[in-house]
Amino acid sequence: MRRGGWAVGVASEGRLLVHKTGSRYVQSRTAAGGWSQQRYARRRGNQADALVQAVVEAAATRLDAGSLHGLVPGGDRALVDAVLADPSLAAVAALPRGPLLDVPDPKAAVLEAAAGRARAVRVLLDQP
């Protein structure tokens, strides 16, 4: 998830099986002051809430927690946490989680690459 875009998918062995991507406009910060600043902040909040709700609906219809082994989130941590806090995704949120992936704009190609990255194993060598 990113402000303005999202992608949800199910992958097996690094290959994307099911996916859905979408976008929602979320206004960026403005330099206005006073009442305008507060009005824009409320608007951004409402737009972000609509984005979260769109992702919850897409995830609820495509992610079956009973057939999944884990969850690999990516993008904006606060938005991901807001989606997983929804009661309709409680079973999905309870799955073991991988690290939060740093992803660019959520598109199908990026989701396909993230599916491959989710299977990657990090190796740390502490001796030469």
What digits encode the pLDDT tens for the residues 59-102?
Answer: 999 998 888 999 999 999 999 999 999 999 999 999 999 889 98
Annotated domain spans of the chain? 5-118
CB atoms within 10 A of CB 65: 13
**Which of the four pLDDT bands, split at 50, 70 and 90, describes residue 26?**
confident
Task: Give the containing element (helix H, strand E) for 22.
Answer: strand 15-23
pTM to 2 decimal places? 0.79
Residue 96 contacts residue 73 (beta carbons within 8 Å): no
CB atoms within 10 A of CB 61: 11
CATH 3.30.420, domain 5-118, yes or no:
yes
Query: In sequence order, which residues have a C-beta less than 8 Å from that of residue 27 and are 6 or more positions away?
Result: 40, 43, 44, 47
